[in-house]
Amino acid sequence: MSGPRQTTADPEAIGLYQGLENLPLALWEDLARMNPDGVSRRAAVLRKPDGALVVPFLGTNYAVFPEARTIQAPAGVRPPGFQSGLVILAYLIGADDIDLSGRMVTERELNGGALFFQGPHALSKAPVLERFGGDPGGLMERALKMGATPLKAGDAAFRLLALPKVLVAYTLYRGDDEFPAELTITFDAHTDRHLPLDGIFAMINVLTRRLGREG
């Protein structure tokens, strides 16, 4: 699986990465071959009688139908984009039978992360820094609306259970006339047991974009 290149603009503005119809067929095929009860157990998601796997992602419950190759959002919620779909499928396929570690690490401390998360795969931070670099309170207000839990760190900090077994934390240090704002992103140490690195990259693209947008 490969993810899109990072950009400070909306990554899904690139045609190739727009819409669920562009998700790699191999992901759907891999998921369809797996035992759905095993997937439900390992990923800690609900399996409904109609065959749907209900995946909570960033506070929204998405219904994944492996045989029909569709992902449905709840009524009144916009359909997931390419990167959200990529993360959801990668999580269902890769989630391991292990819980949260209780220890947070940087992306470089994840297995293979020091090599992967650089250059075009550096974690997306610009949307948050550009909007909230001088407004930590605004970032916290936005994060709490998304279901985050406040943390005591920096000028604004929170953690968010992005997926049932994927915990992410953001810490913002306010910018001033002398120093630019800084943002650190950390992960539960078992995150790479549930998502491949490009899935983690795509997840942060989606989360940072949602935090930084209006509304």
Is the Cβ–Cβ distance between 192 and 111 less than 8 Å?
A: yes
Give the model's pLDDT for residue 201.
Answer: 98
Q: Indicate if the pLDDT at residue 64 is higher than 80.
A: yes
* Residue 14 confidence (pLDDT): 43
Residues of the chain above pLDDT 70, percent: 91
Is the pTM higher than 0.85? The answer reads yes
Summary mean pLDDT of the chain:
91
pLDDT at 17: 58
Q: Is the dihedral of CA 211, 117, 149, 137 positive or negative?
A: negative
Neighbour-count burial of 89, counting CB atoms closer than 10 A to its CB (0-12 exposed, 13-18 middle, 19+ buried): buried
Tell me if residue 171 falls in helix, strand or coil.
Answer: strand
Taking the CA atoms of residue 163, residue 192, residue 23 and residue 203 in that order, the dihedral angle to the nearest 10 degrees is 50
d(CA 155, CA 174): 6
With a cut of 60, say whether residue 6 has pLDDT above it: no
